[in-house]
Structure 1
Amino acid sequence: MNFYNYHLINDFCIKKYELLSLNEIKIKKKFFSFFKNKICIINEKQSLRTINTLVNSLNCLNIKYTIINNKHNFKKENIKDFSKTLGILYDYVFFRGYNDIILKIISKFSGLVLINMLSNGYHPIQSINDSCLVKNKIIFFFGDFNSNVFRSMVINLSKIDKIIIIISPKIYWNYIFLKKIFNKKKIIVSEKIIILNKKINIYNDVWFSMGENDFKTKINNLVNFQINKKIIKILKIDKIYHCLPSYKKSFFLKSNNSEIEENVFESNFSNFDKQIIEKIFMIKSFFIISGKNFFHIL
Structure 2
Amino acid sequence: MLINLADDLKTKEQHGIPHRFMSGKHIALIFEKQSTRTRSAFTVAATKLGANVEYLNKNDIQLGSKESVEDTAKVLGSMFDGIAYRGSEQATVETLGAHADVPIWNALTDDWHPTQMLADFLTIKEHLGTYKGKTITFVGDGRNNVAHSLLVTGAILGANVHILAPESLQPALSVQKLAHDIAKNSGSKLLVTSDREDGMYGSDVVYTDVWVSMGEEDALEERFQLLSDYQVNQELMDMSGSTETIFLHCLPAIHDTATDAGKLAYEKFGVNGMEVTDDVFRGPASKVFDQAENRMHTIKALLAVTCGNVH
- Kindly indicate whether residue 248 of structure 2 is the aligned counterpart of residue 241 of structure 1: yes
**Per-residue Cα deviation, 1:186-216 (whole angstroms, up to 9, x for no partner):** 1111111136775621011111223113222
Matches within 5 A, 1:186-225: 186-194=189-197, 198=202, 200-212=204-216, 213-225=218-230
Secondary structure of 1:194's partner?
helix
Secondary structure of 1:74's partner?
coil
The residue that corresponds to 1:105 in the other structure is 95
Q: Which has the higher helix share?
A: 2
Give me the whole-angstrom Cα distance separating, in 2, the residues matched to 1:218 and 1:97.
23
Structure 1 letter corresponding to 2:73: S
Q: Using a 3 Å threshold, how does the CA distance of structure 1 residues 54 and 148 change in structure 2: closer, same or farther?
A: same
Whether the aligned pair in 2 keeps the contact of 1:226 and 1:261 (CA below 8 Å) is yes
Whether the aligned pair in 2 keeps the contact of 1:287 and 1:295 (CA below 8 Å) is no
- Normalised TM-score (structure 2): 0.81
CA RMSD of aligned residues (A): 2.2
- Normalised TM-score (structure 1): 0.84
Identity %: 23
The residue that corresponds to 1:263 in the other structure is 279
Give me the whole-angstrom Cα distance separating, in 2, the residues matched to 1:151 and 1:22.
20
The residue that corresponds to 2:105 in the other structure is 115
Question: Residue 150 of structure 1: which of 144, 147, 151 is its match?
Answer: 147
Unaligned runs of 5+ in 1: 1-20
The residue that corresponds to 1:60 in the other structure is 48
The residue that corresponds to 2:128 in the other structure is none
Give me the whole-angstrom Cα distance separating, in 2, the residues matched to 1:87 and 1:199.
44
Structure 2 letter corresponding to 1:270: S
Unaligned runs of 5+ in 2: 13-17, 125-130
Structure 2 letter corresponding to 1:273: F
**What is the deviation of 1:61?**
2.2
Whether the aligned pair in 2 keeps the contact of 1:128 and 1:156 (CA below 8 Å) is no
The residue that corresponds to 1:24 in the other structure is 4
Higher relative contact order (CA 8 A, sep 6+): 1
Give me the whole-angstrom Cα distance separating, in 1, the residues matched to 2:249 and 2:310.
34
**What is the deviation of 1:296?**
4.9
Structure 2 letter corresponding to 1:122: W
Give me the whole-angstrom Cα distance separating, in 1, the residues matched to 2:86 and 2:120.
18
| Alignment coverage as a number of residue pairs | 275
